Chains A and B, each alone.
Chain A
């Protein structure tokens, strides 16, 4: 049984890069690029981990995260957030929304991999 990650991102090339990285680690990588129905998609596909971009068409990542945290089913779901805006305010908002890990673009590949592993470990511990 492979670990299942859902990547919510709208930049084609970034999707391509993350998919490449995680696939080599043995992850099943699912992608979705629209913000407006992202929360439903996450609930439907029940991934182990979500990697969530902030600036999405249709709906911001913060809103999606808040909805996930307000739902018992996804309250503890590990979420790694990526943002290209890189202001401290975004980090605070992400913390408030209940983010598991927060990362600023451009990221280093190693960082992403470490974060995903850590989140998976914690996730496994808690369940």
Chain B
């Protein structure tokens, strides 16, 4: 009869042994010795055995005793996954390595654009899903202690008041704190923990095999005897339900990938991808050995042990019942190992998640300054890790105390499996489908999680604990189709199958649909591409090393960036200092670093690193690298857009200058044209005057007729000259705005009378003018003299240029609101369309030249009317030449 004290002493010694193993491994790891051991595929394979917890160690037998061969599914799933490592695991490990992933939450959040929300969701789900399982391990250890002290009476119930549970929890917390937070390197590897877990894997295998061998050869009396008993037992004949088998196989396979602790050993602690290859056959072998004696132990246990014994503990109670204390002790240690290794790694994985995604962000948020001193933050990280570890083990312990050890081990195990299985769609979808989005992942996870809680976790507490009995029978809110074990009215399904089916189906469906309709952020897109195409641009990590062939590529690249001569110089110098002929150096790591430095001067550090990485293929380009490249590119883009803006500015200025210059040239040309025009207009009458005055002076014997004729030519030309000068002065005054308007009041009729009389007096031809006096009774308050000048010009033009045989001018006056409109329409041929644009310009003349006008008349009219606030336009479609004069009745209105 082993005393409890001895047992506790053994436990303590065993735990001390584990501490020792872990400590030595850490030390060796630091000194770089025994690397073969730390980095051996065997250790890796053994560390995977944390899949086999106390649930497997004890519970498999219980499962077999209750429901026959179903327990096999728990081993089948992981075996399928690891045998097919090439498809999923290889990808996971590669991504984990190249992205320095620290946990499954980190993986999922990284994939969806480093979404912290997603990381928190995954972390919370993992804690809810796994904590009961930690409690379960504590429970199984406590229970096994109780069984031991009760001398193998396997019908005992766990005694939650037993202080053993607390001691064990404290011990495990201490171990995890010591070895889980020793070093904070980026890759989060824990050699000590892994070695200790590997050691425990050996212990539990040996223990189970020993018990199995004892049962077959020690109790049953040999192999054939055992087989006969198995055949005789009812165990093999139990119906196996196909849907349950499929569901459980799927669940265990999924859990193998999604359990935080499995992710920790599979991905985070992986040293070398090639270890997967070994593990792909070694781990299934391990599982096979673990399951080898399950059926014999179950069958014999059912036969030998008294009715009502808990089959979950046959492995322990069988040796005890046969008085084999030593073997029982070993068996106990096997179960203890299974429980502790699971708790240690699960706590480590969960605490990493909690600390990285919940505690640290909150802390950094509170310290708005962010991380300034790394040492300072480092201490905070370690502290938050340790607190997280204590918190998680504490939660497990609380669950264990609160639950009072209800339910069979296997049931709780399955619930936990189904909970973490909800990560699968987001994870696998993220690895293989670029279109998966953050929103899809979050909504899918949430959907699956809620259904899992409702159909599986909450019902597991039994009716009237969380969910009332009414909910079970009539559904939530009385909705029949919302019964937790018969969703959508589908009844008759096994509750586990039902819960897994609905939660996974709806999870995957929501994930896919939401991903299809939502748009990923740029970072999500980038990460998605990186994850899905992980094999295109990441290789096994190694330091910069390269071959001479790559040296040429490097040279070409360097020439592109630095310019041919400078690059050549750099390479030649290096080759020379290496003592090599020619200009291509050996691409030593030192040289590559130097090259990277030089290049970063031109293209930025991140780009330089990425470019060399591309050629040398050494380091995979991480997302941070790419983001840094993107930042640099953005800066360059910004810089170039600034340059572009400047050059746009310059060309705008240049264009403005050109325009201004063109304008000046135009003005200058206009001025020249104007001057030569003026010169021509002045010299022409002068020529006649001079010529005829000389004729009069020098010619003798001119007749009186001729004298008179020539004198009148001189006179006419002198008048023409005077008028021209008047017009010029007038126009220049008008154009320069130095005109003083002389406001008077009068009627339009009077002004027209005066203008017609004046124009007729100076005209060479008879012009009949037609007017309607009635329309002209409009009172004007403006500069009547200037207005009269406009009218005279128009009437004179009509008299001069109207081509009709008997020229006739109609003057039509009218009022439009405050404006007065006067049309002057003759019966001539009109003005050709091509000339209309120019006719109001100075010196523009239409058609044949006329001896009596310099072409200033219309220009003056336009200027005058502008002063009076009106306008003059040519009217088309009247048949003759028609001008329309519009002006305000009062000059005061023009000013407004």
Residue ranges of A at the interface with B (Cβ–Cβ < 8 Å): 10-14, 16-18, 20-21, 24, 55, 57, 84-87, 104-110
Roughly how many angstroms separate A44 CA and B322 CA in the complex, as a whole number? Answer: 151
8 Å CB contacts to A: which residues of B838-879?
848-849, 851
> Sorted from nearest, which 10 A-B pairs have the closest CB atoms?
A17-B691, A13-B688, A84-B683, A106-B690, A106-B687, A105-B687, A84-B680, A106-B686, A85-B676, A109-B694
**Is the Cβ of B691 less than 8 Å from the Cβ of A57?**
no
Could you show 21 A-B contacts with beta carbons less than 8 Å apart? A12-B851, A13-B851, A14-B691, A16-B713, A17-B692, A17-B695, A21-B691, A55-B680, A57-B848, A84-B680, A84-B683, A84-B684, A85-B676, A85-B679, A87-B679, A106-B690, A108-B690, A108-B694, A109-B691, A109-B694, A110-B694
Q: Which residues on the B side are within 8 Å of A10 (C-beta)?
A: 849
Roughly how many angstroms separate A85 CA and B851 CA in the complex, as a whole number? Answer: 16
With contact pairs A84-B679, A106-B689 given, residues A11 and B684 touching in the complex (Cβ less than 8 Å): yes
Q: Which residues on the A side are within 8 Å of B849 (C-beta)?
A: 10, 57
The smallest beta-carbon distance between B121 and chain A, in angstroms, is 88
The smallest beta-carbon distance between A35 and chain B, in angstroms, is 11
The smallest beta-carbon distance between B251 and chain A, in angstroms, is 102
Q: Mark B692-703, 1 if CB is under 8 A from A, else 0.
A: 101100110000
B688 closest partner in A (C-beta): A13
Q: Which residues on the B side are within 8 Å of A84 (C-beta)?
A: 679-680, 683-684, 687
The smallest beta-carbon distance between B647 and chain A, in angstroms, is 40
Is B717 an interface residue when CB atoms closer than 8 A count as contact? yes
**Is the Cβ of B679 less than 8 Å from the Cβ of A14?**
no
Q: Which residues on the A side are within 8 Å of B690 (C-beta)?
A: 106-108
With contact pairs A10-B849, A106-B687 given, residues A21 and B695 touching in the complex (Cβ less than 8 Å): yes
8 Å CB contacts to A: which residues of B800-853?
848-849, 851
- Chain B residues bordering chain A, tally (CB within 8 A): 22
Roughly how many angstroms separate A71 CA and B849 CA in the complex, as a whole number? Answer: 29
Q: Which residues on the B side are within 8 Å of A17 (C-beta)?
A: 687-688, 691-692, 695
Count A/B pairs, Cβ under 8 Å: 65
A108 closest partner in B (C-beta): B694
Roughly how many angstroms separate A108 CA and B675 CA in the complex, as a whole number? Answer: 23
Q: Mark B457-486, 1 if CB is under 8 A from A, else 0.
A: 000000000000000000000000000000
A105 closest partner in B (C-beta): B687
B847 closest partner in A (C-beta): A57
**Is the Cβ of B683 less than 8 Å from the Cβ of A106?**
yes
Tell me which of B675, B676, B686 contacts A105 (CB under 8 A): B686
Q: Which residues on the A side are within 8 Å of B699 (C-beta)?
A: 24
Roughly how many angstroms separate A30 CA and B399 CA in the complex, as a whole number? Answer: 132
**Is the Cβ of A14 less than 8 Å from the Cβ of B695?**
no
The smallest beta-carbon distance between B717 and chain A, in angstroms, is 6
**Is the Cβ of B689 less than 8 Å from the Cβ of A20?**
no
With contact pairs A85-B680, A105-B683, A105-B687 given, residues A11 and B695 touching in the complex (Cβ less than 8 Å): no
8 Å CB contacts to A: which residues of B403-455?
none
**Is the Cβ of B683 less than 8 Å from the Cβ of A86?**
yes
**Is the Cβ of A11 less than 8 Å from the Cβ of B687?**
yes
**Is the Cβ of A106 less than 8 Å from the Cβ of B691?**
yes
Q: Which residues on the A side are within 8 Å of B692 (C-beta)?
A: 13, 17
Roughly how many angstroms separate A72 CA and B687 CA in the complex, as a whole number? Answer: 33
The smallest beta-carbon distance between B677 and chain A, in angstroms, is 8
Roughly how many angstroms separate A86 CA and B851 CA in the complex, as a whole number? Answer: 19
Roughly how many angstroms separate A110 CA and B698 CA in the complex, as a whole number? Answer: 10
Q: Which residues on the B side are within 8 Å of A24 (C-beta)?
A: 699
Q: Which residues on the B side are within 8 Å of A106 (C-beta)?
A: 683, 686-687, 689-691
The smallest beta-carbon distance between A25 and chain B, in angstroms, is 12
Sample of 9 more A-B contacts, CB < 8 Å, known A14-B688, A17-B687: A11-B684, A11-B687, A12-B851, A14-B691, A16-B713, A87-B679, A106-B683, A106-B690, A107-B691
B702 closest partner in A (C-beta): A20
A11 closest partner in B (C-beta): B684
Q: Mark B487-523, 1 if CB is under 8 A from A, else 0.
A: 0000000000000000000000000000000000000
**Is the Cβ of A105 less than 8 Å from the Cβ of B695?**
no
The smallest beta-carbon distance between B455 and chain A, in angstroms, is 103
Roughly how many angstroms separate A14 CA and B690 CA in the complex, as a whole number? Answer: 10
Q: Which residues on the B side are within 8 Å of A20 (C-beta)?
A: 695
B675, B684, B698, B699 interface centre (most CB from chain A within 10 Å): B684
A86 closest partner in B (C-beta): B679
B694 closest partner in A (C-beta): A109
Roughly how many angstroms separate A86 CA and B691 CA in the complex, as a whole number? Answer: 17
A18 closest partner in B (C-beta): B691
The smallest beta-carbon distance between A54 and chain B, in angstroms, is 9
The smallest beta-carbon distance between A45 and chain B, in angstroms, is 22
Roughly how many angstroms separate A105 CA and B694 CA in the complex, as a whole number? Answer: 14
Q: Which residues on the B side are within 8 Å of A87 (C-beta)?
A: 675-676, 679
Q: Which residues on the A side are within 8 Å of B675 (C-beta)?
A: 87
Roughly how many angstroms separate A10 CA and B680 CA in the complex, as a whole number? Answer: 13
**Is the Cβ of A11 less than 8 Å from the Cβ of B688?**
yes
Q: Which residues on the A side are within 8 Å of B679 (C-beta)?
A: 84-87
8 Å CB contacts to A: which residues of B49-102?
none
**Is the Cβ of A109 less than 8 Å from the Cβ of B695?**
yes
Q: Which residues on the B side are within 8 Å of A105 (C-beta)?
A: 683-684, 686-687
Roughly how many angstroms separate A104 CA and B686 CA in the complex, as a whole number? Answer: 11
B675, B676, B698, B717 interface centre (most CB from chain A within 10 Å): B676
Roughly how many angstroms separate A12 CA and B848 CA in the complex, as a whole number? Answer: 13
The smallest beta-carbon distance between A60 and chain B, in angstroms, is 12
Roughly how many angstroms separate A61 CA and B686 CA in the complex, as a whole number? Answer: 20
Tell me which of A14, A21, A110 contacts B687 (CB under 8 A): A14
Q: Mark B253-270, 1 if CB is under 8 A from A, else 0.
A: 000000000000000000
Roughly how many angstroms separate A122 CA and B694 CA in the complex, as a whole number? Answer: 27
Q: Which residues on the A side are within 8 Å of B689 (C-beta)?
A: 106
Q: Which residues on the B side are within 8 Å of A55 (C-beta)?
A: 680
The smallest beta-carbon distance between B699 and chain A, in angstroms, is 8
B686 closest partner in A (C-beta): A106
B685 closest partner in A (C-beta): A13
The smallest beta-carbon distance between B432 and chain A, in angstroms, is 84
Q: Mark B371-403, 1 if CB is under 8 A from A, else 0.
A: 000000000000000000000000000000000
The smallest beta-carbon distance between B834 and chain A, in angstroms, is 15
**Is the Cβ of A13 less than 8 Å from the Cβ of B694?**
no
A10, A13, A57, A109 interface centre (most CB from chain B within 10 Å): A13
The smallest beta-carbon distance between A17 and chain B, in angstroms, is 4
Roughly how many angstroms separate A57 CA and B848 CA in the complex, as a whole number? Answer: 7
B699 closest partner in A (C-beta): A24
Roughly how many angstroms separate A20 CA and B692 CA in the complex, as a whole number? Answer: 10
Roughly how many angstroms separate A86 CA and B683 CA in the complex, as a whole number? Answer: 9
